[in-house]
């Protein structure tokens, strides 16, 4: 049977949630409009911390850490049961560090037309200071948002890249092939089915 979360067989779960920006990884504290974001949902159900890589990576004023410093932050976050969301493997740090040590990897892969409005809405709320930025001291500006450096264009331009990258990863490490990665597409209904399976698993464990 394909159980919703594998864990390590001893009740421990280190979950890595990946996907393009806006696909539903953010925490409930970041944007209350998305009550069922997957990373926060899993963390709540497992009663473990939810950690955003954005918050670990970015410093005030969008400053970047050194590779060694970022790896130290990631390693410290991975030392306990947790749900980590995000993917910084395009940076120079060892990008498979999290997934290599995760008990479960979940790829959120909804169609672009479904999650792009979320990106617009989340960005607007941040610009209006209704919700906090992705990391402390990293405020969005109207000029950047409307440019090719902004999150909206970033999301659009990376959609195809993410599908190829995580698709290749899934082909190598899918649960069906004995690995620890699964793909969830909320438009197809498999996300709803997976959540129901997770709740049933936790009720009976």
CB pairs under 8 A, 24+ apart, for 124-129? Answer: 125/31, 125/33
Residue 36 binned pLDDT confidence (cut-offs 50, 70, 90): very low
At 94 the pLDDT is 58
| Complete DSSP assignment for 116-167 | HHHHHHHHHHHHTTSS--SSTT----HHHHTSTTSHHHHHHHHHHHHHHHHH
Residue 93 binned pLDDT confidence (cut-offs 50, 70, 90): low
Q: Please compute the mean of the pLDDT values over residues 178-200 and round it to a whole number.
A: 90
At 200 the pLDDT is 92
Judged against a pLDDT cut of 90, whether residue 105 lies above it is answered with yes
Q: Give the max Cα distance, the chain.
A: 51
Gap between the Cα atoms of 87 and 193, Å rounded: 25
Helix axes 190-204, 38-46, angle to 10 degrees: 10
At 176 the pLDDT is 92
Range name among 20-34, 47-61, 73-87, 180-194 with the lowest pLDDT average: 20-34
Q: Taking the model in full, what pTM does it have?
A: 0.86
For the chain, first and last CA: distance in Å?
15
How confident is the model over 107-133, as pLDDT tens digits? 999 888 888 888 888 888 888 888 888
Gap between the Cα atoms of 84 and 194, Å rounded: 18
**Cβ atoms of 17 and 5 closer than 8 Å:** no
Q: Please compute the mean of the pLDDT values over residues 78-94 and round it to a whole number.
A: 76
At 79 the pLDDT is 79
């Amino acid at each position: 049977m394909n159980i919703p979360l594998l864990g390590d067989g001893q009740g421990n779960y280190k979950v890595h949630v990946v996907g393009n920006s806006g696909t539903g990884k953010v925490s409930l504290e970041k944007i209350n409009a998305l009550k069922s974001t997957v990373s926060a949902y899993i963390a709540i159900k497992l009663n473990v911390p939810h950690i955003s890589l954005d918050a670990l990576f970015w410093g005030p004023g969008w400053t970047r850490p050194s590779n060694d410093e970022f790896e130290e932050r990631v390693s410290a976050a991975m030392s306990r049961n947790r749900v980590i969301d995000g993917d910084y493997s395009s940076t120079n740090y060892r990008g498979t560090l999290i997934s290599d040590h995760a008990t479960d990897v979940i790829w959120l892969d909804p169609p672009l037309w479904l999650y792009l409005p979320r990106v617009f809405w989340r960005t607007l709320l941040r610009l209006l200071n209704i919700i906090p930025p992705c990391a402390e001291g990293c405020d969005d500006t109207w000029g950047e948002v409307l440019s090719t450096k902004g999150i909206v264009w970033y999301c659009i331009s990376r959609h195809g890249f993410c599908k190829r990258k995580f698709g290749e990863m899934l082909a190598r490490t899918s649960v069906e092939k004995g690995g620890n990665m699964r793909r969830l597409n909320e438009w197809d209904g498999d996300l709803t089915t997976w959540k129901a399976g997770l709740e049933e698993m936790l009720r009976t464990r």
